[in-house]
Amino acid sequence: VKEQKAEERMSITIFLLFINETKIATINMIIKRKNMFKLIDKGVWKRKPYFDHYFNQIRCSYSITVNIDISKIIYFKNRNHTKLYPLLIYVLAKAVNNREEFRTAINDKGELGIWETLLPCYTVFHEENESFSNIWTEWDDNLMTFLSNYERDIEMFGNNYGIDAKPNTPANTFPISSLPWTTFTGFNLNIFADGSYLLPVFTYGKYFQQDGKYLIPLSIQVHHAVCDGFHVSRLINEIQQICNDIK
């Protein structure tokens, strides 16, 4: 009887180890899939002449600032007692992950491709010393899951100082910052580098009320090599639609 019970315990232990290894393998597979970088075959890429023009001949980025109606976002925040910032981050990440042109980048090997998924990397402000830090959060299309991921990261890393509060920032992140102290009608980042950064850069301002609506200024800076005014306009419309659909 003792030997039988020992064998049963051993079987249960092996089964639990198998389950844990399976979970770990599944998690690793999901992470690997999200980090996938699909190379672009420029020989058949329809955007090749525009990319060559705005990257190799006239390297060009541009920015646009618009007001986004976040009335539905404010209503959701008040009803569910959530924070505004993660909701605004979610909206941008969802819109960006819906469109390949805003996930097009050059990897650390100098290869042009498209990230399967982009994770938001956003600034948090430290009022006590008037500095900021960057934190990245794992993306999930499910709003409540993403909000949970955000809260966990803020709890773990929100009080860390320095540029990167959360270590090991993946390559597949895009930047979001916020200026909640002022509204603006124009905002531009003058980056003195080689101009090879292709991912979009977003900056929110202070929201305000106008004609019974809550509006927030949003600056979007992009590289002309991967997207034109049409693509940015479509992105803006989709950002607004996502805001409207938050329930």
For every residue of 73-132, DSSP letters joined together read HHHHHHHHT--HHHHHHHHHHHHHHT-GGGSEEE-TTS-EEEES--EEEEEEEETTTTEE
| 8 Å CB contact between 55 and 212 | no
> CA-to-CA distance for 195 and 15, rounded, in angstroms?
53
Local structure of 217: helix, strand or coil: strand
Q: Mind telling me the catalytic residues? A: 224
> CA-to-CA distance for 40 and 17, rounded, in angstroms?
40
Burial of 158 by CB count in 10 Å (0-12 exposed, 13-18 middle, 19+ buried)?
Answer: middle
What is the average pLDDT score of the chain? 91
Q: Can you give the pLDDT at residue 190? A: 84
Q: Can you give the pLDDT at residue 26? A: 45
> CA-to-CA distance for 209 and 203, rounded, in angstroms?
19
User: Rounded to an integer, what is the distance from CA 186 to the centroid of its chain?
Assistant: 22
**If you compute the radius of gyration of the chain from its CA atoms, what whole number of angstroms results?**
22
> CA-to-CA distance for 68 and 237, rounded, in angstroms?
9
Q: Can you give the pLDDT at residue 192? A: 77
Q: Can you read off the two tokens belonging to residue 148?
A: 């949970």
Give the closest residue to 236 by CA, choosing from 83, 67, 41, 12.
Answer: 67
Q: Can you give the pLDDT at residue 239? A: 98
| 8 Å CB contact between 209 and 218 | no
Q: Can you give the pLDDT at residue 22? A: 45
Give the closest residue to 200 by CA, choosing from 216, 214, 218.
Answer: 218
Q: Can you read off the two tokens belonging to residue 116?
A: 């399967």
Q: Can you give the pLDDT at residue 224? A: 98
Q: Can you give the pLDDT at residue 20? A: 57
pLDDT tens, residue by residue, 113-152:
999 999 999 999 999 999 999 999 999 999 999 999 999 9
**What are the mean pLDDT values of the chain's consecutive 10-residue runs (247 residues total)?**
63 58 49 77 97 96 97 98 98 98 97 98 97 98 98 98 97 98 94 90 98 98 98 98 96
| 8 Å CB contact between 213 and 234 | no
Q: Can you read off the two tokens belonging to residue 150?
A: 């955000």
How many helices, marked H, and strands, marked E, lie in the chain?
6, 10
